A = this chain, B = another copy of it.
Amino acid sequence: MSVHGVTLGDVLGEHRRGRPDGLAVVDADVRLTYPRLDERVNRLAAALAADGVTPGERVLWLGRNSFRILELLLACARLGAICCPANWRQSADELTFVLDDLRPAVVVFEESEAAGQARAQSGTQARWIVAGEEYEAYLAVGTPAEPAVEVTPDRPVLALYTAAFDGRPAAALLSHSALIAHSMAILHIRQMEDGFTYLDCGPLFHVGTMMFCLATFQLGGTNVFTPAYDPKEVCRLIEAERCTQAFLFGPMIDQLVEANSGGTYDLSSLRFVSHSPEWDAMITVDDSPWCASKMGGYGQTEVGGMLTFLGLAPGGQGYAGRPSPLAHVRILDPAGNEVPPGETGEICARGAGVFSGYWNRPELNAAKTAGGWHHTGDLGRREPDGTLTFIGPRLRMIKSANENIYPAEVERALKSHEAVADAAVIGVPDPEWGQNVKAIIVLKEGTSLTPEEVVEHVRSQIASYKKPRHVEFAESIPKKGYTPHYDALDATYGGGGYPGQ
């Protein structure tokens, strides 16, 4: 074992020694100190090992938020295995896909119709264990001794499914090193201190909640779990457990303000972002770089959470701030060359927090790491002051007169016109130029624009060669998730001739 290697299992081992009375986990009537968590994790690891969970094997969690997700993750950490908390809101068919894709050796689940159907449909042989009494009985059989498995920190330990790139979801694999590095960035930016108590009230199958759960664990703080977001219950837990932070943003905060309108609950332990006068009066407004102005930055599951932080560029021009001190960002063109400041390219990164590829997607992984850079699949640019702006997903590229044009960038320019309600951009074949840019525009009610005005507006915003040659007006833009449904738009408006097609 290298003197440099620290795993999530080692972090737990340190907390067992360093925090004999430290509260690690609260979940309904479950309260576990770090030594108690350590013992349960060892028992669970022994039980999983007996079910064939050897290094590299997968364990799946199908259920709402629970302290068992942290136990399963840490047991997998001690075994060199991989834990995946799946999105329990998915349909039976979606869950079946996850089961057949990940092929877990063990599934711990909360009973539901979808889970039952998926179990019946899936071709994967796994041991299924019901969260609750069966899980407790399963764990009780294992020995409390730490498993004698040597785990190196570069091993994947957490798998989180992300949106489809090639038409099917893929599980992003995050190593011990990546999660620990990312936690350090969060500890730094959020200025987390001894006694930090995090309320896991967002979904733990999403990196946004998981990253704070893990940073709290890294620090030796307390994670309070609640099955799902319920405003009254969140208020009650913040008061009862003196929570320092919770997974909250805009609309969730408004719901809390409403739930606590009579001032029933004391939320003053919460140190969080300013939001509204009512909210600010209930909590303690935090001045850490994470909370001081706008939360966030730019991130994705594949970098363990956040790649850039607004708090590292106070007053900066870019909407995404500056990279984590552990990351290095370049804006690259499709050939892998860096583009100058002000020009749009793909956000690419290096850093200890970058993921280890997707489970079982060798071709996609090769493309994502081309040239030794993690390709985020998102577009961005450096502003003149060096800060970064996230433009949008790099879903496709138009090639016109040998110039690369990203629809997201042109759409951003179009939407900056006050009369434009929505916009999408496609490429239409052109015998001379390869492709031409076509804009489909939805106008706001009571406004009007000529095609010439649309083109002129884009030219005032970005390089002239990116301006539309054709403009069409429509009632609405078909969507696929949050982004335009480009295939449908191509079919309707004559798109085609894309590079590589």
Where the two chains meet, the residues of A that have a C-beta atom closer than 8 Å to any C-beta of B are 1-6, 10-11, 13-14, 17-22, 154, 177-178, 180-181, 183-185, 187-188, 191-194, 218-220, 288-289, 311-314, 322-323, 325-330, 341, 349-352, 354, 369, 372-374, 382, 384-388
Nearest B residue to A20, CB-CB: B386
Q: Determine if A19 and B372 form an interchain contact, defined as CB atoms under 8 angstroms apart.
A: no
Nearest B residue to A289, CB-CB: B193
| CA of A289 to CA of B330, assembled, Å | 34
Q: Determine if A313 and B194 form an interchain contact, defined as CB atoms under 8 angstroms apart.
A: yes
**Chain B residues positioned under 8 Å from A193 (CB to CB):** 289
**Chain B residues positioned under 8 Å from A10 (CB to CB):** 328, 350
Q: Determine if A18 and B323 form an interchain contact, defined as CB atoms under 8 angstroms apart.
A: yes
| A326 in complex: contacting residue of B6, B194, B313, B382, CB < 8 Å | B6
Q: Determine if B313 and A4 form an interchain contact, defined as CB atoms under 8 angstroms apart.
A: no
**Chain B residues positioned under 8 Å from A21 (CB to CB):** 385-386
**Chain B residues positioned under 8 Å from A192 (CB to CB):** 188
Q: Determine if A194 and B312 form an interchain contact, defined as CB atoms under 8 angstroms apart.
A: yes
Top 8 nearest A-B pairs (CB, nearest first) are A1-B372, A18-B386, A3-B374, A184-B184, A188-B188, A10-B328, A187-B188, A191-B191
| CA of A330 to CA of B10, assembled, Å | 11
| A17 in complex: contacting residue of B188, B219, B311, B382, CB < 8 Å | B382
**Chain B residues positioned under 8 Å from A178 (CB to CB):** 4
Q: A185-B184, A188-B187, A328-B13 are in contact. Are A322 and B6 (CB under 8 A)?
A: no
Q: A10-B350, A312-B194 are in contact. Are A2 and B372 (CB under 8 A)?
A: yes
Q: Determine if B180 and A326 form an interchain contact, defined as CB atoms under 8 angstroms apart.
A: yes
| Closest-CB distance, A372 to chain B (whole angstroms) | 4
Q: Determine if B325 and A183 form an interchain contact, defined as CB atoms under 8 angstroms apart.
A: yes
**Chain B residues positioned under 8 Å from A314 (CB to CB):** 194
Q: Determine if A350 and B289 form an interchain contact, defined as CB atoms under 8 angstroms apart.
A: no
**Chain B residues positioned under 8 Å from A374 (CB to CB):** 3
Q: Determine if B6 and A327 form an interchain contact, defined as CB atoms under 8 angstroms apart.
A: yes
| CA of A369 to CA of B329, assembled, Å | 35
| A6 in complex: contacting residue of B341, B351, B385, B386, CB < 8 Å | B351
Q: Determine if B184 and A4 form an interchain contact, defined as CB atoms under 8 angstroms apart.
A: no
Q: Determine if A349 and B17 form an interchain contact, defined as CB atoms under 8 angstroms apart.
A: no
| Closest-CB distance, A440 to chain B (whole angstroms) | 35
Q: A184-B326, A325-B183 are in contact. Are A350 and B4 (CB under 8 A)?
A: yes
Nearest B residue to A192, CB-CB: B188
**Chain B residues positioned under 8 Å from A388 (CB to CB):** 18
**Chain B residues positioned under 8 Å from A325 (CB to CB):** 11, 180, 183-184, 187, 218-219
Nearest B residue to A354, CB-CB: B3
**Chain B residues positioned under 8 Å from A384 (CB to CB):** 20
| CA of A4 to CA of B187, assembled, Å | 20
Nearest B residue to A369, CB-CB: B3
Q: Determine if A352 and B6 form an interchain contact, defined as CB atoms under 8 angstroms apart.
A: yes
Nearest B residue to A303, CB-CB: B3
| Closest-CB distance, A36 to chain B (whole angstroms) | 14
Q: A184-B326, A188-B187 are in contact. Are A350 and B387 (CB under 8 A)?
A: no
| Closest-CB distance, A357 to chain B (whole angstroms) | 9
**Chain B residues positioned under 8 Å from A1 (CB to CB):** 350, 372
Nearest B residue to A13, CB-CB: B328
| CA of A330 to CA of B219, assembled, Å | 18
| CA of A268 to CA of B493, assembled, Å | 64
| CA of A193 to CA of B220, assembled, Å | 23
Contacts A4-B351, A18-B388, A181-B184 known; 12 new A-B pairs at CB < 8 A:
A3-B373, A4-B154, A4-B177, A4-B178, A4-B350, A6-B328, A14-B327, A17-B386, A18-B322, A183-B325, A184-B326, A188-B191
| CA of A191 to CA of B312, assembled, Å | 12
